[in-house]
């Protein structure tokens, strides 16, 4: 057996199942209310503990429960029963001793989430009500800016940039094509042949061409 400390049980009752890695291996044996002054908190920094939930785990599953195991309050399906889920610990961590007391992970409280959501919505509504005139001025200024010629010129410039980008993408694609590679190979071959022409050959060629030019 293990003693699990929670600040909120989330619907867990005596007899609720206890599972390890999703397999039912025990049940909740008892629930004891603790003094409000209990100072211990969970890793998530939730409310101080208020409950001690005593659970039993079968001998076949207890070796999987280790000191670094986590103890969650889960629910089977959307409206299913609540149960304690124990995540198996690592092999490097020693087994959790029988009778040990550990801090469980408090489940999220839907009522608090809804309350916080309503509070946030109220603050947003209050902000818009207090700044209604300023918001109207902002929207008018935004509408005026959208209709200005300078803004239209900016939109035209953006369209031109998009068109130029598309053209560059097309050219880049062409340069990577097989046809472009063939052209580059031929160009490199011509340059390589030009390097092989020595000074005497070039001089003789120019002299012969000069004689032909004078004859004609």
Residue 23 has pLDDT above 80, yes or no: yes
Give residue-wise pLDDT tens across range 30-66. Answer: 988 887 655 455 454 456 778 899 999 999 888 888 9
Do residues 51 and 69 make contact, with C-beta atoms less than 8 angstroms apart?
Answer: no
Selected residue with higher pLDDT from 203 and 98: 98
Section 98-108 average pLDDT: 85
pTM of the complete model: 0.47
Q: Is 177's pLDDT higher than 90? A: no
Q: Could you please report the per-residue DSSP string of 85-112?
A: EEE---TTSPBPPTT-EEE-BPPP-HHH
Written as six digits, the tokens of 44 are 């998530």
**Which of 7-11, 62-66, 80-84, 199-203 has the highest mean predicted lDDT (pLDDT)?**
62-66
Most confidently modeled of 54-63, 71-80, 129-138?
54-63
Whether 3 shows a pLDDT value over 50: the answer reads: yes
Sign of CA dihedral 87, 25, 58, 56: positive
Q: What is the mean pLDDT of the chain?
A: 73
């Amino acid at each position: 057996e293990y003693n699990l400390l929670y600040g909120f049980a989330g619907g867990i009752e005596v007899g609720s199942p206890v599972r390890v890695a999703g397999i039912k291996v025990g049940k909740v044996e008892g629930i004891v209310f603790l003094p409000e002054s209990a100072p211990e908190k969970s890793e998530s920094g939730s409310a101080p503990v208020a409950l001690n939930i005593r659970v039993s785990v079968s001998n076949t599953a207890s070796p999987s429960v280790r000191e670094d195991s986590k103890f969650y309050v889960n629910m089977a399906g959307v409206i299913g029963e609540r149960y304690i889920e124990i995540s198996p610990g690592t092999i490097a961590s020693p087994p959790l001793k029988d009778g040990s007391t550990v801090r469980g992970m408090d489940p999220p409280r839907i009522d608090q989430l809804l309350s916080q959501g309503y509070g946030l919505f109220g603050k947003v509504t209050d902000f818009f009500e207090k700044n209604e005139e300023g918001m109207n001025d902002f929207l008018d200024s935004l509408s005026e800016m959208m209709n200005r010629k300078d803004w239209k010129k900016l939109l035209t410039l953006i369209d031109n940039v998009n068109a130029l980008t598309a053209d560059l993408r097309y050219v880049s694609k062409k340069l990577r094509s097989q046809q472009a590679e063939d052209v580059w190979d031929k160009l490199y071959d011509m340059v390589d042949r030009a390097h092989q022409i020595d000074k005497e050959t070039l001089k003789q060629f120019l002299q012969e061409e000069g004689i032909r030019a004078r004859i004609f």
